[in-house]
Amino acid sequence: MTAKYERLVRYLDQLRVDGVQEVQLSFSELERILAAPLPAAARNFRPWWSNSSQAPKPWQIAGFRSRAVHLGHQTVIFHRLPSGAIAQPAAPAAPAAQAPRLLIVAGGTGRLAVHHPRELRKDDFLDLERLHEREAELKNFLRPASELYCCDQFRFTRSGVDMLRSAFGRDKVDMRIMSPGYGLIGEQDMIAPHSVSLTDFDRAELHLWADHLGVPAAVRELVADYDLAIFLVGQCCLEAMRPPLVPAAGQRFILLATEHYRRRYSLPGVTVLPTGRLAQASCEVGSMALKGYLFSRFAQVATREGVELLQRLMADDSGDVFWQAVQRALAAG
């Protein structure tokens, strides 16, 4: 541990002696304590602040743990550990612990695993009481969202998510599903067969429908907890999210989308991979499944090359890191 971190240990150790249970510090205040600038990774990557059971961080040595790191506000909270839980230096941290926290947003469209002659329609989603009544009618057909949606696009996406979870841990990789009827939902949310399609709406109607489902607010609240978000959804789903989505400092959003959305998402921290370019990558799948397929090939490479690839992806404005990883996967067969 360098001398500058010894300053932080002494500062927090005195707070512990004084009985302080919790303290919030801005990054600027921390730099005054350290008498030196924080490393760039501290300002740009939430994993830098993670607590470790292998190689305790300076605040852990002082008897605290970090929580509620907010890169946008540039603040961190240190919470006092129970008596006797002061960490001691140990072996280096496992590389996977340094992986950015990753969110995959998939589209819930296409083929369903089960059908019903009276599956849910648009009017059923307009009133919550009516929706519950209709779901009760279809209770034998309810499925977790990750099982109800079963088109090739979603199947490839799930495969990629499973690979990344195997490599970096389930706590590092989350997936949400953009359902045309239910809005933004989790993998295990129980939902009924439905026939709502966002392509049936014009742009104004799509915005009204998305607002009814609470999609724009839900997406913005969700992404705040992740370092890296990859959107594998169609143009209608992206429009329902009410672009642009603006990353906080240190976040990276990656969209596989049309050239139109690259112009609309010309923002720091956003990488748009035009699907026209990506379509050159493979003739193995149809256009409807292409995004999920390419993501799964990227995940193959990420499981081999590890955290370093994800960190390079976080810093890449051009999209070349993703594209070149896909090309390596395709070349390997």
Six-digit token string for 261 = 């959305």
Same domain for 304 and 287, yes or no, is yes
8 A C-beta contact, residue 62 and residue 16:
yes
pLDDT score, position 2: 47
pLDDT score, position 92: 44
8 A C-beta contact, residue 8 and residue 30:
yes
Same domain for 174 and 321, yes or no, is yes
Same domain for 149 and 290, yes or no, is yes
Same domain for 86 and 206, yes or no, is no
pLDDT above 90 (res 296): yes
8 A C-beta contact, residue 307 and residue 260:
no
pLDDT score, position 106: 95
pLDDT score, position 1: 43
pLDDT score, position 285: 66
Six-digit token string for 221 = 């609240």
Last residue of a domain, one of 93, 115, 135: 93
Same domain for 61 and 151, yes or no, is no
Q: How many CB atoms lie within 10 A of CB 81?
A: 17
pLDDT above 60 (res 155): yes
Same domain for 148 and 237, yes or no, is yes
CA 15/CA 49 separation, integer angstroms: 19
Give me the helices (H) in the chain, please: 3-17, 27-34, 40-44, 58-61, 128-137, 145-148, 152-168, 203-213, 215-223, 235-240, 259-264, 275-278, 290-305, 307-314, 320-332
Q: How many domains does the chain have?
A: 2
- When pLDDT is averaged across residues 213-220 and rounded to a whole number, the result is 94
- When pLDDT is averaged across residues 303-312 and rounded to a whole number, the result is 93
- Full-model pTM: 0.71
Same domain for 122 and 62, yes or no, is no
CA 301/CA 290 separation, integer angstroms: 17
Same domain for 85 and 208, yes or no, is no
pLDDT above 90 (res 63): no
- When pLDDT is averaged across residues 287-299 and rounded to a whole number, the result is 88
Task: Count CA atoms within 13 Å of residue 34 on its CB side.
Answer: 17
pLDDT digits (tens, 9 = 90+) for 112-152: 999 999 999 999 999 989 999 999 999 999 999 999 998 88
pLDDT score, position 40: 75
Burial profile 170-188: b = 16 or more Cβ within 10 angstroms, e = fewer: eebbbbbbbbbbbbbbebe
Same domain for 61 and 122, yes or no, is no
pLDDT above 60 (res 156): yes
pLDDT digits (tens, 9 = 90+) for 85-95: 554 444 444 57
Of the pLDDT bands very low, low, confident and very high (cuts 50, 70, 90), residue 286 is: low
Residue whose structure tokens are 């996977």 = 96
Last residue of a domain, one of 62, 93, 124: 93
More confident residue, 104 or 267: 104
pLDDT score, position 267: 83
pLDDT above 60 (res 230): yes
Same domain for 74 and 213, yes or no, is no
CA 31/CA 301 separation, integer angstroms: 37
pLDDT score, position 313: 94
pLDDT above 80 (res 278): no
Same domain for 87 and 118, yes or no, is no
pLDDT digits (tens, 9 = 90+) for 166-201: 999 988 999 999 999 999 999 999 999 999 999 999
Last residue of a domain, one of 93, 117, 149: 93
Same domain for 7 and 110, yes or no, is no
Domain range for residue 59?
Answer: 3-93
Of the pLDDT bands very low, low, confident and very high (cuts 50, 70, 90), residue 159 is: very high
